[in-house]
Amino acid sequence: MSALVFTGRCLHPGEATGEVLHCSTEIPGWGGINPKTGDIVEVGHPQRGLSMAGKVLVIPGAKGASGWSGQFHMARVLGTAPIAVITRKLNTKLALGLAVLRVPALIDLPEQAYAALETGRTATVRGDTLIIHADDASAF
């Protein structure tokens, strides 16, 4: 098995390994996710119908009102939250949501890392380190 290893900036410490869900556009917390199921429900979102539950959630950022903290809290309590979050852009909405969520979180990764984080791949977030796993080197 081969892997790509990258270093970013740790937003919340910890370690988690799981399947990647890479969202191509931002999601609003309120009206964008269903905390009961973990599904993305925003009308028109390219990943609508996919679930963040138990996944390494990769998002460009957060949009909308301040619903992220409430929605992430409910998802965590209900067991439908992501196990880690990787983002490109941090704002106060997402920062508060991540504080409530309490899962490993990363930002400021190299462009190659974001490009390799495809939905369905397995990734590990460990402190400031991202490991993207593959069955063979040709996967990259």
Q: What is the pLDDT of residues 87-137, one digit of tens each?
A: 999 988 889 889 999 999 999 999 999 999 999 999 999 999 999 998 655
> CA torsion angle for 50, 36, 87, 64 (degrees, to 10)?
100
Tell me the pLDDT band of 12, cut-offs 50, 70 and 90: very high
Going by their DSSP bridges, the two strands 27-28 and 62-63 should be labelled as parallel
Contact 90, 107 (CB under 8 A): yes
Tell me the whole-structure pTM to 2 decimals.
0.93
Sign of the Cα torsion 117, 22, 97, 123 reads negative
The mean pLDDT value for 40-69 works out to 92
